[in-house]
Amino acid sequence: MSRLALFLIAALAASAETRTVIPNRYYETFSTHEPVARLQSGDTVITKLLDSRGRDDKGKMVLDGDNILTGPFYIENAEPGDTVVIRFDKVSLNRDWGWNGVRVSLDALAPTSIEGLESAQCCDEWLQPGRRNALKWMLQPPNGVIKPSRALGSKVKLEFPAHPTVGCVGVAPPLPQAISSGPMGNYGGNLDYNRMDQGAIAYLPVFHKGAYVMIGDGHAGFGDGELLGQGTETSMDVTFTVMLKKGYRITWPRVEHPDSIVTLGATPGALERGFREAISEMLRWLRKDYGLTQQEAHTLLAMTAELKVASWFGTSLCKIPKQYLPAK
């Protein structure tokens, strides 16, 4: 590395700021809303996420909605064709309760197995008026054991280690539009990927000047697919650092872990089409960043890929362990 490159890296680190940002307004859509903060590449943000129904770390209802988002964060110098990088430095629980359903989504079950199922209406209307399908869970912040607040049977111990994750992360979508925080798309959105955790690095394409990064939907833990329809919903303490890759264009969201690289795709109602997007994005990543030939990339992917359903409601995932990759 040249002395000039080392100097520029040192200058960027010296100019980076760490800021605490607690918004007084939250959103349910990804769009070019009024920014809550303007960030330079390299800046770090300390913030809090409401739970998916808009309650804070004290349990107070701040916004009665669905998949409530913190942000947006305007990234200076971000332009269409760039990639914004979000490194999650801290993702941890900040209160001692969350909630889940008690029945797998009917969309994930064979039609012949639905008849005779017990109702999903399990509980009193404690979470919000009219809602009876939310079971309270007991949590041990910042990342201890999580378990239902009452017994659901007598054969197994329903007690699990917490794995705090961020369900929603994205930028303003293409075109001048506002998209609900419910689905996922090429801009990110409601990924519901259960390893969007501390240490994860998300890569998102930029479609508007400033990018308008938004995050939300904290989860205490859940398995692949988010099959209950929730991920043990709760509020969260989050610290993240933003970086900008100028002139580096990607098509769909990517995630990097210490042990693997992941691409995500989505077409609601058609998981196989989401997998096509995730697989195609992985091939682009292998060719561009790792220098593989087409035949190398296709063969490596076919022999090592792990294909997962990140969310049954539309997010497909392609993963390759780093042990099979060359140095960038």
Count of CA atoms in the C-beta half-sphere (13 A) of 259: 1
CA–CA distance from 13 to each of 42, 47, 112, 210, 256 (Å)?
A: 7, 21, 59, 20, 21
Alpha carbon distance 262, 319 (integer Å): 4
Q: Last residue of a domain, which of 233, 249, 265?
A: 249
Report yes or no on 297 lying in a domain. Answer: yes
> In the listed set 199, 226, 249, which residue is the last one of a domain according to the structure?
249
Asked if residue 150 belongs to a domain, the reply is: yes
* Other beta carbons less than 10 A from residue 207's beta carbon: 20
CA distances from 293 to 269, 276, 286, 328 (A): 33, 20, 9, 14
90 and 154 fall within a common domain: yes
Q: Which of 263, 262, 235 is nearest to 91 (CA)?
A: 235
**Backbone region of residue 28 per phi and psi (left: phi > 0; alpha: psi in -120 to 50; beta: other values):** alpha
114 in a structural domain: no
Same-domain pairing of 167 and 304? no
- Looking at the fold, whether 149 and 182 belong to one and the same domain comes out as yes
- The HSE-up count of residue 195 (CA atoms within 13 Å, CB side) is 20
* C-alpha span between 315 and 265 (Å, rounded): 6
Are residues 181 and 86 both part of a single domain?
yes
Q: Verify that 71 and 188 share a domain, yes or no.
A: yes
Show the domain range for 90.
16-108+119-249
Examine residue 5 and state whether it is found in any structural domain, yes or no. Answer: no
DSSP 3-state assignment of 107? helix
The Cα–Cα gap between 199 and 192 comes to 16
Per-residue pLDDT 10s for the chain (328 aa) are 445 444 444 455 557 999 999 999 999 999 999 999 999 999 999 999 999 999 999 999 999 999 999 999 999 999 999 999 999 999 999 999 999 999 999 989 999 999 989 999 999 999 988 899 999 999 999 999 999 999 999 999 999 999 999 999 999 999 999 999 999 999 999 999 999 999 999 999 999 999 999 999 999 999 999 999 999 999 999 999 999 999 999 999 999 999 999 999 998 778 889 999 999 999 999 999 999 999 999 999 999 999 999 999 889 999 999 999 998 7
Q: Copy the structure tokens of residue 280.
A: 């195609």
Q: What whole-number distance in Å separates Cα of residue 72 and Cα of residue 245?
A: 19
Last residue of a domain, one of 249, 265, 295: 249
Task: Identify whether residues 242 and 142 lie together within a single domain.
Answer: yes
Number of domains in the chain: 2
Q: Is 49 left (phi over 0), alpha (psi -120 to 50) or beta?
A: beta
CATH number at residue 186: 2.60.120.580
Q: What does pTM read for this prediction?
A: 0.92
